[in-house]
Amino acid sequence: MSQCCPVDEASMPLTIVVIDDEEAHFQLIKRSIEKEMPRTNVRYFADAVSFLERVGECCPDVIVVDYLLPGMNAIEFIKALAEAGFDIPVIITTGLRNEQIASNAIELGASDYLVKSAGFFSMLPGVIQRTVRDRELKSSF
């Protein structure tokens, strides 16, 4: 598998794709990311299928995807992304607190599984930053 696009992380802002069928959630997520990580490019897709059709154009560093989406859940999305040959970190967000889903997601390669609860919006930027650092560490070996 390969990353989407070769990027010089030192000179380029992070590109974060948020896939969520509720634009209001996207706006809150975007605001929380931009507050803590001002040098980011946050892009929005309302469904996973639209994103998968354009993944090569977007070149995201991290994908934040809602678990329940029309036409495809986040587990199916991770599988489709891998089948398409892309190795991009995925953080799943959900309103469902389900250990089995979380376990399956992590086994399939999700970087994290976050429940949308109190403190979610303040916690998300730190999870994204940790995910990026983990990716950089892996690629340096």
User: Can you give the residue ranges of every domain in the chain?
Assistant: 14-139
Low-confidence residues of the chain, pLDDT below 70?
1-11
pLDDT confidence of residue 4: 55
For residues 115 and 6, what is the distance between their CA atoms, to the nearest angstrom? 31
In 3D, which of 58, 65, 28 has the Cα closest to residue 43? 58
In CATH terms, 14-139 corresponds, of 3.30.70.240, 3.30.465.10, 3.40.50.2300, 3.40.50.20, to 3.40.50.2300
pTM for the model stands at: 0.90
pLDDT of residue 95: 87
C-alpha to C-alpha distances, 66 to 2, 73, 91, nearest whole angstrom: 23, 8, 9
What is the DSSP code (8-state) at residue 119? Answer: T
Retrieve residue 133's tokens: 């650092």
